[in-house]
């Protein structure tokens, strides 16, 4: 605790971030914490990271005023497990959330509980998707329809008392509720607010305001849109998450999506009907039809992100106007990354780069150098220890992540991790499996990635320097035999250190 405060003070002296705004409410004492999490937000769809597809000025502002992590990795690239890891600072095999189907065990230690014990007011608003009732929050209201996925319009929220339908577009409504909570909070205590959006999760329904965004644009295609899955183990070809084959008519907006309120139909139909008629006239087939589907899918996805970004802008403005920006840690992240046509895919799950990575941007003027970019291997495991450290609370020894405060202060410890363990389980796992991605675990280092599909005993090794798009496994290449031996030993070491049970 003492060390973390010293580090913050040291960083503040270096960057001159403390004490400039003494009239701010709560400008001294433990920092407020605002975690804004989108669902399935790919790095490729944030202009601070990529700039190829869209513009996200408010997320970019956080990057400009804080630190952007280019290698923030998730332990298990799917929604509920990632959320459990963020809350607990542990891997799936410790927190019990292997897939989207288990009920999260809310009796276990989470960072919101520990912050609550440390005197924070804690609040959770939006998508939860962990099935059990949230614990550790003074206030919570979460999306409840569709097994916790929620709907884009007129979403049903539940709290400890029951459910209520809130009319409007979910990203705006979730933000409204967060701002209302901020407004009525107790001003003499620090707060933790987790503002968790549904967007841009499937099935990518735009707000009325953005239905025409990108309408006259042709977005660039990723180089692997027409991946043939050669040169890899068998699972890459065995999945069911291809844009060309596996998107449904509602995903593609060829028919009106379910749960779209009738009052929205006129605007919706005015946007999609002419485009869908044009498609019919074109009679596209083969690769041309895949190209069309790619454009439709990614444009709808990006439309939902335009709302996420605008609504982040509303929250940042609230912090500015209420003197809270200096002493509030703002984190923008997602539960994992996502495929926007890379390997021909939508969705996540794989240890391949696009879904292994998640956006992570941290703004904290007192301790983080503005506009910095970091390439250390950090993880969603590290969020809980980092926030506890920042609040001056004890980090429980069983947590498997590490405080990023020194990294944020620009002085990463020499022994920061140089390898990272990953494990995906949601295959042939009751009651349902989507997208047929084989179970796998593996290790990523700065240059290499070794993946083991353990139910079928197949391996892949990627040399990310030579093959950044991961289309050519060199596992069988004799010139990599030594690397394979080293990485297999590292994988064994990590599994032992992390207490991963034997499979299956
Ligand atoms: Ca997700």
Q: What is the pLDDT of residues 130-155, one digit of tens each?
A: 999 999 999 999 999 998 999 999 99
Residue 231 lies in a domain: no
Q: How many CB atoms lie within 10 A of CB 366?
A: 21
CB burial of residue 498 (10 Å; 0-12, 13-18, 19+):
middle
Statement to judge: residues 327 and 469 lie in one domain:
no
Strands in 186-245 per DSSP E: 191-196
* 3-state DSSP helix/strand/coil % of the chain, to nearest 5: 35, 15, 50
pLDDT(4) > 70 = no
Ligand 1 centroid, distance to 153 Cα (angstroms): 19
Statement to judge: residues 410 and 441 lie in one domain:
no
DSSP designation for 169: E
**Digit-coded pLDDT (tens) for 106-135:** 999 999 999 999 999 999 999 999 999 999
Statement to judge: residues 382 and 469 lie in one domain:
no
Q: Name the pLDDT band for 431 (thresholds 50, 70, 90).
A: low
Query: Which residues hold their Cβ within 5 A of ligand 1, which is an ion?
Result: 39-40, 79, 335
- The C-alpha atoms of residue 226 and residue 276 are separated, in whole angstroms, by 23
Ligand 1 centroid, distance to 323 Cα (angstroms): 32
Q: How many CB atoms lie within 10 A of CB 184?
A: 9
Statement to judge: residues 414 and 449 lie in one domain:
no
Ligand 1 centroid, distance to 70 Cα (angstroms): 19
Beta bridge partners of 328: 32
Residue 280 lies in a domain: no
Ligand 1 centroid, distance to 80 Cα (angstroms): 7
Ligand 1 centroid, distance to 40 Cα (angstroms): 4
Ligand 1 centroid, distance to 137 Cα (angstroms): 21
Ligand 1 centroid, distance to 205 Cα (angstroms): 16
CATH of the domain at 466: 3.30.1120
Q: Contact 356/337 with Cβ under 8 angstroms?
A: yes
Statement to judge: residues 148 and 66 lie in one domain:
yes
pLDDT, position 430: 63
Statement to judge: residues 361 and 431 lie in one domain:
no
Statement to judge: residues 459 and 314 lie in one domain:
no
Ligand 1 centroid, distance to 11 Cα (angstroms): 34
3-state secondary structure of 462: strand
Statement to judge: residues 490 and 399 lie in one domain:
no
Residue 279 lies in a domain: no
Residue 329 lies in a domain: yes
Ligand 1 centroid, distance to 142 Cα (angstroms): 15
Task: Write down which residue in 397, 418, 439 finishes a domain.
Answer: 418
Beta bridge partners of 38: 334
Statement to judge: residues 409 and 446 lie in one domain:
no
pLDDT(440) > 70 = yes
- The C-alpha atoms of residue 205 and residue 227 are separated, in whole angstroms, by 27
Q: Tokens 């990310």 belong to which residue?
A: 464
Ligand 1 centroid, distance to 285 Cα (angstroms): 31
Statement to judge: residues 427 and 385 lie in one domain:
no
pLDDT, position 73: 98
- The C-alpha atoms of residue 300 and residue 465 are separated, in whole angstroms, by 32
CATH of the domain at 91: 3.40.720.10
Q: pTM score > 0.75 for this model?
A: yes
Ligand 1 centroid, distance to 195 Cα (angstroms): 14
Q: Is omega for the bond preceding 431 within 30 degrees of 0, making it cis?
A: yes
**Digit-coded pLDDT (tens) for 392-413:** 999 999 999 999 999 999 999 9
Task: Write down which residue in 418, 447, 471 finishes a domain.
Answer: 418
Ligand 1 centroid, distance to 386 Cα (angstroms): 22
pLDDT(501) > 70 = yes
Longest dimension (CA), the chain: 69
Task: Write down which residue in 403, 418, 433 finishes a domain.
Answer: 418
Distances (CA, A) of 388 to 110, 249, 284, 297: 10, 45, 54, 39
**Digit-coded pLDDT (tens) for 315-348:** 999 999 999 999 999 999 999 999 999 999 999 9
Statement to judge: residues 98 and 113 lie in one domain:
yes
Q: How many domains does the chain have?
A: 2
DSSP designation for 50: T
Statement to judge: residues 349 and 491 lie in one domain:
no
pLDDT(289) > 80 = yes
Residue 254 lies in a domain: no
**Digit-coded pLDDT (tens) for 363-376:** 999 999 999 999 99
Residue 214 lies in a domain: no
Rounded to 5°, the CA angle 311-164-136 comes to 70
- Helix axes of 286-321 and 57-65: crossing angle, nearest 10 degrees: 60
Structural domain range at position 37: 3-15+29-205+300-418
- The C-alpha atoms of residue 351 and residue 496 are separated, in whole angstroms, by 20
Q: Are strands 448-453 and 458-463 parallel, antiparallel or unpaired?
A: antiparallel
Ligand 1 centroid, distance to 101 Cα (angstroms): 13
Ligand 1 centroid, distance to 77 Cα (angstroms): 8
Residue 256 lies in a domain: no
Q: Name the pLDDT band for 18 (thresholds 50, 70, 90).
A: very low
Residue 235 lies in a domain: no
Which of 420, 484, 439, 475 is closest to 73 using CA atoms? 420
The whole-angstrom distance between residue 251's C-alpha and the CA centroid of its chain comes to 21
Q: Contact 276/298 with Cβ under 8 angstroms?
A: no
């Amino acid at each position: 605790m003492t060390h973390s405060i010293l580090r913050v003070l040291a960083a503040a002296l270096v960057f001159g971030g403390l004490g400039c705004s003494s009239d701010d409410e709560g400008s001294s004492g433990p920092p407020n914490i605002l975690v804004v999490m989108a669902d399935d937000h790919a790095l490729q769809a944030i202009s601070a990271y990529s700039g190829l597809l869209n513009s996200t000025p408010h997320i970019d502002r956080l990057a400009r005023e804080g630190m952007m992590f280019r290698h923030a990795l998730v332990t298990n690239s799917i929604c509920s497990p990632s959320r459990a890891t963020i809350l607990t600072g542990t891997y799936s095999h410790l927190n019990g959330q292997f897939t989207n189907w288990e009920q999260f065990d809310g009796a276990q230690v989470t960072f919101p509980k520990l912050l609550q014990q440390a005197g924070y007011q804690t609040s959770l608003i939006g998508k939860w998707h962990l099935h059990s009732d949230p614990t550790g929050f003074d206030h919570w209201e979460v999306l409840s329809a569709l097994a916790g996925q929620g709907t884009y319009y007129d979403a049903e929220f539940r709290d400890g008392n029951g459910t209520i339908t809130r009319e409007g577009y979910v990203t705006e409504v979730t933000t409204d509720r967060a701002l209302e909570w901020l407004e009525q909070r107790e001003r003499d205590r620090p707060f933790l607010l987790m503002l968790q959006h549904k967007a841009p999760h499937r099935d990518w329904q735009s707000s009325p305001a953005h239905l025409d965004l990108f309408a006259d644009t042709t977005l660039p295609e990723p180089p692997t849109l027409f991946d043939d899955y050669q040169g890899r183990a068998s699972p890459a070809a065995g999945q069911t998450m291809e844009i060309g084959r596996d998107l449904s008519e509602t995903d593609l907006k060829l028919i009106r999506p379910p749960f779209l309120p009738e009052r929205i139909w006129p605007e919706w139909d005015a946007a999609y009907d002419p485009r869908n008629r044009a498609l019919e006239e074109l009679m596209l087939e083969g690769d041309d039809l895949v190209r069309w589907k790619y454009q439709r899918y990614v444009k709808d996805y990006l439309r939902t992100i335009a709302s996420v970004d605008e609504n982040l802008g509303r929250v940042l403005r609230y912090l500015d106007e209420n003197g809270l920006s200096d002493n509030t840690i703002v984190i923008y992240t997602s539960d994992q990354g996502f495929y926007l046509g890379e390997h021909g895919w939508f969705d996540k799950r794989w240890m391949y780069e696009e879904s292994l990575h998640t956006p992570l941007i941290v703004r904290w003027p007192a301790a983080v150098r503005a506009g910095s970019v970091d390439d250390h291997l950090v993880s969603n495991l590290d969020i809980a220890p980092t926030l506890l450290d920042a609040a001056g609370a004890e980090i429980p020894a069983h947590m498997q992540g590490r405080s990023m405060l020194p990294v944020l202060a620009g002085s990463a410890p020499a022994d920061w991790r140089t390898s990272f363990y990953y494990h995906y389980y949601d295959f042939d796992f009751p009651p349902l499996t989507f997208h047929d991605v084989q179970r796998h675990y593996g290790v990523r280092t700065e240059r290499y990635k070794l993946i083991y599909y353990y139910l079928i005993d197949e391996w892949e090794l990627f040399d990310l320097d030579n093959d950044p798009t991961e289309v050519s496994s060199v596992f069988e290449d004799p010139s990599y035999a030594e690397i394979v031996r080293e990485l297999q030993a590292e994988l064994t070491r990590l599994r032992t250190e992390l207490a991963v049970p034997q499979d299956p």
